[in-house]
Structure 1
Amino acid sequence: MSTRQAQIWVGIDAGKGHHWAVAVNTDGETLFSTKVINDEAQILTLIDMAREKADEVRWAVDISGRASALLLALLIAHGQQVVYVPGRTVNRMTGAYRGEGKTDAKDALVIADQARMRRDFAAIETPPELVSTLQLLTGYRRDLIADRVRLINRLRDLLVGICPALERAFDYSAAKGPVVMLTEYQTPAALRRIGVKRLTTWLERRKVRGADAVAAKAFEAAQSQVTALPGEGRAAKLVRGLAHQLLALDERIKDN
């Protein structure tokens, strides 16, 4: 079990698609080094992980702009202290650290260690009213994401009672296409009736990416089960409703 630190520094090499975060303690020892997708859930997990490591966490980033907007908003909304380490400082100091070449992990280590050793980096300040707004928005978004998790779990639970193979066939939390399909086709019999070709066309009309692959996988699952389970009709109606709710909720999350 690792010892809880009094203070740590987390350096983040920020990017559009993902960030790299490295945490160091007061002796400059690396506590963790991890890739973080530029996504609210993953950033919140990073914040929680850092908080578990130390009583006080200091954050440092190399970009204060669009690429780090979500990251900074979440850090500020959670009362974290953040400083800006200019890219020129990172580039100048990279050669002094072990390891060859320029990597995200190495840059994040430089950012963290420089923030540990220096006190002249500018803090990223946010007006109090903006902090309050960010806290409200992130709280609301967190509630929406929690609602989404509950919807997906309920949908999967119902699908198991209709066709276990269809429930296993897709990651309904990550792929929109299968959820679109469930707004109309939820049972093996219905999927067998429409067939791969017509289902592909139906999905393409609804702008589903990889419609042919979704249709083929769904049809394969349907072919594996010819038995209609008790309560299938009622469960199918509930799945249809949940699928519509999930698509609508995804739009709300996208807008917030």
Structure 2
Amino acid sequence: MKRQVRLGWVGVDVGKGHHWVCLIDENGATVWSARVINDEAAILDAVGSVLTRAEEVVWGVDVTGTMSGLLLALLAAHGQRVRYVPGRTVNQMAGAYRGEAKTDARDAYVIAETLRHRGDLQEVEVSASLVSELRLLVTHRSDLVGDRVRMVNRLRDVLSGYFPALERSLATPTAVARWLC
């Protein structure tokens, strides 16, 4: 059974390819910590994991630029409060915690701890238009990916119908797809 806390703070160490997410409780104990790929499905899974472990959550990020755009839009779409913890503050606070050198997991923990101790951090505002535009772009991208998969499958079917030896000569179906592209 997952441990559920009444109030949790989530620190997110934002990165281009992945984020590190750390949920802590009222005592500063880590409830959940994980590496999350910067992808819509992975981020939504992480949000779901956090929300099953805490009744109320305050999120904190160390970057509010392009790298965190998808994360911030998804959190806003799910009605989550997000605060900005400046990188300089994270670096200064990290000195107060013993442990290994700079890591993504440690930075995420420090961001969460900073949120827990400081109530004066600025809330991140994500406009509703950004969220709706991002939804449209993600939906369009999904449609394009589906169209491409259907096109490759149709081409493969036609080619293997006229040239059955072609598919046998290529080791795997993915090799045929690479050959077509």
Aligned to 1:239: none
Q: Counterparts of 2:164 and 2:42 in 1: how far apart (Å)? A: 39
Q: Is the 8 A contact 1:11 1:108 kept in 2?
A: yes
- Provide the TM-score with structure 1 as the length reference: 0.58
Task: Check 1:15–1:220 CA distance in 2 against 1; reply closer, same or farther (3 A cut).
Answer: closer
Q: Could you say what secondary structure the match of 2:57 adopts?
A: strand
Deviates more, 1:43-52 or 1:23-32: 43-52
The answer as to 2:115 corresponding to 1:115 is yes
Aligned to 2:28: 28
The structure with the larger Rg is: 1
Gaps of 5+ in 2: 177-181
Aligned to 1:183: 154
Aligned to 1:75: 75
Q: Counterparts of 1:50 and 1:79 in 2: how far apart (Å)? A: 14
Q: Is the 8 A contact 1:196 1:219 kept in 2?
A: no
Letter in 1 for 2:153: L
**Aligned-residue offset at 1:145:** 8.8
Task: Check 1:181–1:146 CA distance in 2 against 1; reply closer, same or farther (3 A cut).
Answer: closer
Q: Is the 8 A contact 1:77 1:138 kept in 2?
A: no
The answer as to 2:165 corresponding to 1:193 is yes
**Aligned-residue offset at 1:4:** 2.0
Q: Could you say what secondary structure the match of 1:105 adopts?
A: helix
**Aligned-residue offset at 1:64:** 0.9
Letter in 2 for 1:70: L
Q: From 171, 175, 178, give the equivalent of 1:216.
A: 171
Select the structure with the greater relative contact order (CA < 8 A; seq sep ≥ 6).
2
More helix by percentage: 1
- Provide the TM-score with structure 2 as the length reference: 0.80
**Aligned-residue offset at 1:65:** 0.4
Q: Counterparts of 1:220 and 1:87 in 2: how far apart (Å)? A: 45
Q: Counterparts of 1:79 and 1:19 in 2: how far apart (Å)? A: 20
Task: Check 1:184–1:76 CA distance in 2 against 1; reply closer, same or farther (3 A cut).
Answer: same
Task: Check 1:145–1:32 CA distance in 2 against 1; reply closer, same or farther (3 A cut).
Answer: farther
The answer as to 2:41 corresponding to 1:50 is no
Task: Check 1:99–1:76 CA distance in 2 against 1; reply closer, same or farther (3 A cut).
Answer: same
Q: Is the 8 A contact 1:9 1:25 kept in 2?
A: yes
More strand by percentage: 2
Task: Give 1:112-151 correspondences, 5 Å limit.
Answer: 112-126=112-126, 130-131=127-128, 133-134=129-130, 136-137=132-133
Percent identity over the alignment is 42
Letter in 1 for 2:56: E
Q: Counterparts of 1:48 and 1:137 in 2: how far apart (Å)? A: 23
Q: Could you say what secondary structure the match of 2:7 adopts?
A: strand
Task: Check 1:219–1:77 CA distance in 2 against 1; reply closer, same or farther (3 A cut).
Answer: closer
Q: Counterparts of 2:175 and 2:135 in 1: how far apart (Å)? A: 41
Q: Is the 8 A contact 1:77 1:134 kept in 2?
A: no
Aligned to 2:94: 94
Q: Could you say what secondary structure the match of 1:63 adopts?
A: coil
Letter in 2 for 1:16: K
Q: Counterparts of 1:47 and 1:141 in 2: how far apart (Å)? A: 21
**Aligned-residue offset at 1:51:** 1.1
RMSD: 3.2
Letter in 2 for 1:42: A
Task: Check 1:17–1:136 CA distance in 2 against 1; reply closer, same or farther (3 A cut).
Answer: same
Aligned to 2:7: 7
Q: Counterparts of 1:32 and 1:181 in 2: how far apart (Å)? A: 41
1:79-110 per-residue CA deviation (whole Å, 9 max, x = no partner) reads 11011111011111223223211110110000
Task: Check 1:44–1:179 CA distance in 2 against 1; reply closer, same or farther (3 A cut).
Answer: same
